[in-house]
């Protein structure tokens, strides 16, 4: 039977924040400079970075629930950008959810 979590401990939160930090460092914008895809890639990255900063802020102020939610939103933007091909993630299927 699977273990059910009903709280967010510091180790879990730090693992998610660390994973997203690594993902942000790993990716490169893959879209051509003068394309609509580049506009999308930049926007996805801006959203991910913004949510990541929010996660850090909430963690630092003791709000684990909003920190956890924010870091998951951040990583969702990164995964989406990787799956759409906006980001080159070097085939890393450990930090990103890829299509295949």
Q: Is residue 2 part of a domain?
A: no
CB 16 within 8 A of CB 3: no
Alpha-carbon gap, residue 41 to 89, rounded angstroms: 13
Give mean pLDDT, residues 74-100.
94
| Alpha helices, H only, 1-100 | 10-26, 36-60, 64-84
Q: Is residue 72 part of a domain?
A: yes
Pick from 73, 18, 15: which is nearest to 47 by CA? Answer: 73
Q: Is residue 98 part of a domain?
A: no
- Give the pLDDT confidence score for residue 34 in this predicted structure: 95
pLDDT digits over 49-61, tens only? 999 999 999 999 9
pLDDT digits over 19-63, tens only? 999 999 999 999 999 999 999 999 999 999 999 999 999 999 999
Q: Is residue 69 part of a domain?
A: yes
What domain range is 57 assigned to?
A: 15-88
Q: Is residue 33 part of a domain?
A: yes
CATH number at residue 71: 1.20.1270.90
When divided into structural domains, the chain yields a total of: 1
pLDDT bucket at 77, cuts 50 / 70 / 90: very high
- Give the pLDDT confidence score for residue 3 in this predicted structure: 77
Pick from 80, 78, 65, 57: which is nearest to 12 by CA? Answer: 65
Q: Is residue 100 part of a domain?
A: no
Alpha-carbon gap, residue 26 to 16, rounded angstroms: 15
Q: Is residue 97 part of a domain?
A: no
pTM to 2 decimals?
A: 0.92
- Give the pLDDT confidence score for residue 6 in this predicted structure: 83
């Amino acid at each position: 039977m699977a273990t059910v979590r009903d709280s967010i401990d510091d180790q879990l939160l730090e693992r998610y924040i660390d994973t997203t930090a690594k993902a942000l460092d790993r990716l490169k914008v893959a879209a051509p400079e003068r394309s609509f895809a580049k506009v999308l890639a930049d926007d996805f990255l801006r959203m991910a970075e913004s949510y990541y900063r929010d996660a850090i802020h909430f963690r630092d102020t003791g709000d684990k629930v909003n920190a956890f939610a924010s870091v998951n939103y951040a990583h969702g933007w990164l995964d989406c950008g990787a799956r759409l091909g906006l980001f080159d993630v070097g085939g890393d299927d450990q930090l990103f959810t890829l299509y295949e």
